[in-house]
Amino acid sequence: MWIVSDADSEITLYPTIHILPNGMKWQSDELTRRLADAEEVWFEIMPGSETDPNLQATMMRLGMAPGSSLSSQLTAAEVTALREAIAPLGMPFEAVDAMRPWLASTLVSVGALVQKGFNPDAGVEKQLQPLVKDKKIRAFESAESQLKMLAAIPEAQQFQMLRDTLGEMDESIDMLNEMARDWSTGDVKDLEEELLSEMKSEMPIVYAAVFTARNENWANQIEIEMKGAGTDFMAVGAGHLVGEDGVPAILKARGYKVERLR
């Protein structure tokens, strides 16, 4: 975790993993203390907003492609891989075939992880939420804005995301297992390599949308918060906190005191 501070403000930036293996132990006394001391707790999105029926409607509007099909743009081998990937999910192929590639990629990757024992409810945000019910909760962005960000990625890049997901299923699961271990031990260098390096070099447009733009936006919001006084706890995806484009690096470059707690 990182601590951003000035004379009258202290903000804890806590890196999260959104989906983890069931039963993984990671909470610490330092985490418990900082949560208890926080006057406000921030997440990427407001807890519970991902189940809003209106959001589901937005997802369908942004994620479906009436009149077109993924299979018409994929090779025969890729279509076979897609069929095999969704078979355990119990979804008809026709429904997935009508999706835009960003939504299909998300569905396939999360579905594969769940099949291997990962659980979104075991993710850090879900586990933290019951611990902060008495706190003021804030969010950096809306769940709808996250969907719009993914939907705005150029179609060619979306298909690259889907092809990479289909072609690297086993490797992705192994990588997330390794990522979870590195996250739990605080290995920032390896986390940066696993989370960012490949996307930054091979899909710079996606990297800019998912990380660069949002990190700058969040740093701007933190700057506003630092102009006040108090103690905040901010839990966001680990990929947003590591590397030269991460929120801590941005704030440090802007002159704030940023300290990493190991």
pLDDT of residue 66: 87
pLDDT of residue 169: 76
pLDDT of residue 95: 95
CA distance 187 to 179: 9
pLDDT of residue 89: 87
pLDDT of residue 116: 86
Q: What is the residue extent of each domain of the chain?
A: 2-260
Q: List, for the chain, all residue ranges whose pLDDT scores fall below the cut of 70.
A: none
Would you say 100 and 65 are in contact if contact means Cβ atoms under 8 Å apart? yes
pLDDT of residue 167: 87
CA distance 137 to 144: 18
Across 26-60, b (16+ Cβ under 10 Å) vs e yields eeeeebeebbeebebbbbbbbbeeeeeeebeebbe
* DSSP sequence for the chain: -EEEE-SSEEEEEEEE-SSEETT-----HHHHHHHHH-SEEEESS-TTGGG-HHHHHHHHHHHB-TT--STTTS-HHHHHHHHHHHGGGT--HHHHHTB-HHHHHHHHHHHHHHHTTEEGGGSHHHHHGGGGTTSEEEESS-HHHHHHHHHTS-HHHHHHHHHHHHHTHHHHHHHHHHHHHHHHHT-HHHHHIIIIIHHHHH-HHHHIIIIIHHHHHHHHHHHHHHTS-EEEEEEEEGGGTSSTTSHHHHHHHTT-EEEE--
pLDDT of residue 105: 96
CA distance 75 to 92: 19
pTM of the model: 0.93
